[in-house]
Structure 1
């Protein structure tokens, strides 16, 4: 299971990197078309915005796996190891709960958006809502992984300083 999670993480890094590169190219194309050829493209801003939404939610999931989200590290790292492990587990459970709520909300939002299309590109708005659903599902997966690791870690090396 560990290798699968690691491969998913690496895949997300690659996909995120490609999306950032694609977004940069699209924005650069828009700048060139607008200021050099005086003929702006109608779809580039919308496309870049939707890419940004996907990058945000995929990146959030990746940060959950890497435990890279912000917290008050100076306080956290000065706590006894047993307290740190308990707090980390509590944080992971809270993140899991929020992600379940986000999944339900994203699905409801996609249902409401059914039949709606974006203005410039005329793509179904469900595709945009899917970014939230996908990110939330990945966060659930990585949160569960972290919780399993937290529980395993609580029983290794006695949890003492």
Structure 2
């Protein structure tokens, strides 16, 4: 399981890099066009915006997975290890639940966008594609959180080296 997660992390890192590169290049070209050539190209800005949205969703997943999201730890650091692990477990379950709900509720939105055939103003791409980033992003968050939860459980409570004494240190 950890091997699959590591492969997916590498794919995710490459995707984040490419999205960031696309976003920066599109914004740079747009700035040059507006200030020097005096021509604004709308689809450049739109592509940069869609790249940024997907980048934010992937970055959110990376932060949740690695535990690098901003959090207030003043209270949790004062608790013993067992209670901290329980709180971490509950938090992961809540994130999984929220992500599943957003994922499931985004599906009707995608179906509606496909049915209406609406196009984006600049790229003239089907609008279900930008909305699909929400669906894909929260699916990735859900799967990553489930795999992280399984790995955490395996490395703590189901580990051969795990003892109750570790909890009370």
What TM-score, normalized by structure 1, do the two folds share? 0.93
Q: Secondary structure at the match of 2:42?
A: coil
Structure 1: tracts of 5 or more residues without a match: none
CA RMSD across the alignment: 1.4
Please give the alpha-carbon distance, in whole angstroms, between the structure 1 residues aligned to 2:163 and 2:137. 34
Partner of 1:138: 140
Structure 1 residue corresponding to 2:124, chosen from 111, 115, 122: 122
Gaps of 5+ in 2: none
Partners of 1:6 and 1:78 in 2: CA distance: 32
Q: How many residues align?
A: 161
Contact 1:19-1:51 at 8 Å conserved across structures: yes
- Say whether residues 1:33 and 2:33 are aligned partners: yes
Output the CA distance in 1 between the equivalents of 2:139 and 2:66. 16
For residue 10 of structure 1, what is the aligned residue in structure 2?
10
Alpha-carbon shift at residue 61 of structure 1 (Å): 1.6
Contact preservation (8 Å) 1:85, 1:154: no
1:88 aligned partner = 88
Cα distance in 2, alignment partners of residues 35 and 60 from structure 1: 33
Structure 1 segments, 4+ long, off by >4 Å, are: none
C-alpha distance in 1 between matches for 2:14 and 2:149? 25
Alignment of 1:47-86 (within 5 A): 47-86=47-86
TM-score of the superposition, structure 2-length normalised?
0.89
The Cα of 1:18 is off from its aligned counterpart by 1.6
CA distance in 1: counterparts of 2:149 and 2:25, whole angstroms: 39
CA shift for structure 1 position 30: 0.5
Distance 1:92 1:29 in 2: 41
- Cross-structure match for 1:154: 157
* 8 A Cα contact 1:85 1:150, kept in partner: no
After TM superposition, give the deviation of residue 47 of structure 1 in Å: 0.9
